[in-house]
Chains A and B, each alone.
Chain A
Amino acid sequence: MFERRLYYHIDWAMLAGIVALCAIGLAQIFSATGGFSLFYNTQIYGIVLGLFAMGLCLTIDYRSLADKSHWIYLAVLVALMYVLFFGAVRGGSRRWIDFGVANLKANLQPSEFAKAALALVLAKFFGESRRGAIGREDLAIAGALTAVPLILIARQPDLGTAVTLIPVGFAIAYVAGMPMRIIGVLALVGVLVAPVAWKFALKDYQRERISTFLDPAQDAKGAGYQQIQARITVGSGGLWGKGFTKGTQGQLRFLPVAHNDFIFSVLAEEQGFAGVLVTLGLYLFVILRALEAARLAKDRLGAYLVMGVLASFTFQVIYNIAMSAGLLPVKGLTLPLMSYGGSSMVATLAAFGLILNVRMRRFTN
Chain B
Amino acid sequence: MAVTEDRRRIAIRLTVLQVGCVVVFAALGISFWLLQIVQHARFEEMAANNHQRTLALRAPRGILYDRNGQVLVENRHSFTISLVREHTKDLDRTIRLLSAVAGLDPNDVKAIVARHRNEPTYRPVVIVDDASLAQVAAITARRLDFELPDIVVEEVPTRQYPPLAAHLFGYVGEVNDAMVLSDDTLKSGDLVGQAGIEKIYNALLMGEDGAKRVVVNSLGREIRTLDEEPPTEGKRLQLTIDYDVQKAVEDGFRASQDAHLTNAGAAVILDPNTGEVLAFASEPAYDPNAFAAGIDRATWASLTTDEQHPLNDRAIQGRYSPGSTFKMAVALAGLEEGIITPDFQVHCVGGANFYGRTFKCWKKGGHGTIDLRHAIEQSCDVYFYTVGNMVGVDKINKWAEVLGLGVKSGIDLPNEVTGLVPSTQWKREKMNDKWYAGETISVAIGQGQVSVTPVSMAVYMATLANGGTRVTPHLLKAVDEGNGWKPAPAPAPQSKVDLNPEKLQAIRDGLWMVVNAGGTGGRARIPNGEVAGKTGSSQVISNEGRVAAGRTTKDLRDNGWFVFFAPRDHPQIAGVVFLEHGIHGANAAGIAHHILDTYFAKQQGRPLPPPPTPAGLHFDFSDPYARAGAPAVETN
Contact = CB atoms under 8 A, between A and B. Distances in A.
B2 interface: yes
A278 B306 CA distance: 77
Interface stretch (A97-105, A230-238, A338-346): A230-238
B436 interface: no
A96 interface: no
B21 A268 contact: no
5 contacts: A233-B47, A235-B43, A238-B40, A273-B33, A291-B21
Interface stretch (B200-208, B211-219, B319-327, B392-400): B211-219
A359 B9 CA distance: 19
Given A248-B51, A294-B14, A325-B32, 6 more contacts: A177-B6, A232-B46, A235-B43, A239-B36, A284-B25, A295-B11
A257 to B, nearest CB: 12
Contacts of B47: 232-233, 235-236, 248-249, 254
A359 B540 CA distance: 114
Per DSSP, are chain B's interface residues mostly helix, strand or loop, or mixed?
A: helix
Contacts of A307: 17
B36 A273 contact: yes
Nearest to A132: B2
A181 interface: no
Given A236-B40, A284-B25, A252 B51 contact: yes
Given A322-B31, A327-B31, A235 B36 contact: yes
* Size band of the interface chain B makes with A: 35 or more
B426 to A, nearest CB: 67
A284 to B, nearest CB: 5
Contacts of A254: 47, 50-51, 217-218
Contact of A238 (B36, B48, B217): B36
B89 interface: yes
B259 to A, nearest CB: 64
A253 to B, nearest CB: 4
Interface string B146-164: 0000000000000000000
A239 B39 CA distance: 11
Nearest to A174: B13
B29 A280 contact: yes
A242 to B, nearest CB: 9
B24 interface: yes
Nearest to B46: A232
Interface string B186-226: 00000000000000000000000000000111110001000
B37 to A, nearest CB: 6
B71 interface: no
Contacts of A294: 10, 14
Contacts of B89: 221
A201 interface: no
A352 B51 CA distance: 40
A73 B215 CA distance: 52
B218 A236 contact: no
A325 B31 CA distance: 8
Contact of A268 (B11, B32, B217, B219): B32
Given A231-B35, A231-B43, A235-B42, A322 B28 contact: yes
B51 A287 contact: no
Contacts of B25: 280, 283-284, 318
B21 A287 contact: yes
Interface in B325-358: none
B219 A253 contact: yes
Contact of A232 (B6, B10, B43, B215): B43
A253 B217 contact: yes
B35 A314 contact: no
B10 to A, nearest CB: 6
Contacts of B10: 175, 177, 294-295, 300, 303
Given A175-B10, A288-B18, A288-B21, A252 B36 contact: no
A277 interface: yes
Interface string A160-175: 0000000000010011
Contacts of B28: 280, 318, 321-322, 325
Contacts of B219: 253
Nearest to B89: A221
A240 to B, nearest CB: 10
Interface in B222-238: 223
Given A235-B43, A280-B29, A322-B28, A291 B217 contact: no
For the complex of A and B, 10 pairs with smallest distance between CB atoms: A235-B43, A236-B47, A252-B217, A253-B218, A273-B36, A235-B35, A248-B51, A284-B25, A254-B218, A236-B43
